[in-house]
Amino acid sequence: MTSMLKNRKVLSGAHAAAEAMRQIDPDVVAVYPITPQTPIAMKFADYVNEGKVHTEMIRVESEHSAMSACVGSSAAGARTMTATSSNGLALMTEIVYIASSTRLPIVMNLADRALSGPINIHGDHSDAMLVRDSGWIILASENAQDVYENTIMAVKIAEDKRVLLPVMILQDGFITSHSAETMYTFDDETVKKFVGEYNPKYSLLRTDNPITMGPLDLFDYYFEHKRQQVEAMDNAKKVIKEVFSNFSKLTGKTYNYFEGYKTEDADFIIVAMNSSVGTAKFVADKFREKGVKAGVLKIRVFRPFMDEEVVEKLKNAKAVAVLDRAASFGSHGGPIFHDVRSAFYESDKKPKMLNYIYGLGGRELSVELLNKVFNDLIEFDGGKSMNQVQYLGVRD
Partner 1 sequence: MLELKFIGRGGLGAKSAGEILSFVAAEEGFYVQAFPEYGAERMGAPVKSFVRISDKPIYVHSYVTNPDVVVLLDKTLMHAFDVTEGMNENSVLIVNSESCDFKDKLNPNFKGKIYFVDASGISLRTIGKNFPNTPMLGSVAKVFDIFPVRLINKFVEEKFEKKLNPESVEKNKQAVLEAYKETKLC
Which residues contribute to the site for partner 1 (CB under 8 A)? 8, 10, 121-122, 143, 172, 174-176, 178-182, 275-276, 278-279, 281-282, 285, 364-367
When the beta carbons of 125 and 303 are compared against partner 1, the nearer one is 125
Q: State the minimum distance, in angstroms, from the CB of residue 142 to partner 1.
A: 8
Confirm if 131 and 191 have CB atoms less than 8 A apart.
Answer: no
Sign for the pseudo-dihedral over CA of 225, 228, 230, 232? negative
CB of 54 vs partner 1, minimal distance in Å: 24
Query: 3-state DSSP: the chain helix, strand, coil percent, rounded to 5?
Result: 40, 20, 40
Which one, 10 or 230, has the nearer CB to partner 1?
10
Contacts with 71 (C-beta within 8 Å, 6 or more apart), sequence order: 95, 98, 99, 102, 104, 106
Indicate the residue among 121 and 292 with the shorter CB distance to partner 1.
Answer: 121
Residues comprising the chain, all counted: 396
Least separation, in Å, of the C-beta of 16 and partner 1?
Answer: 13
Nearer to partner 1, 179 or 316 (CB): 179
**Of 182 and 246, which has the nearer Cβ to partner 1?**
182
Min dist CB 87 to partner 1, Å, is 16
For residues 355 and 324, the answer to whether their CB atoms sit within 8 Å is yes
Question: Rounded distance, CA 191 to CA 184, Å?
Answer: 13
Residue 358, φ and ψ in degrees, nearest 5: -145, 165
Which is closer to partner 1, CB of 258 or CB of 261? 261
Nearest to 297 by CA among 255, 258, 353: 258
Q: Which is nearer to partner 1, 63 or 172 (CB)?
A: 172
C-alpha to C-alpha distances, 206 to 72, 100, 184, 200, 201, nearest whole angstrom: 14, 21, 39, 10, 10
**CA pair distance 264, 169, nearest whole angstrom:** 27
Map residue 396 onto helix, strand or coil: coil
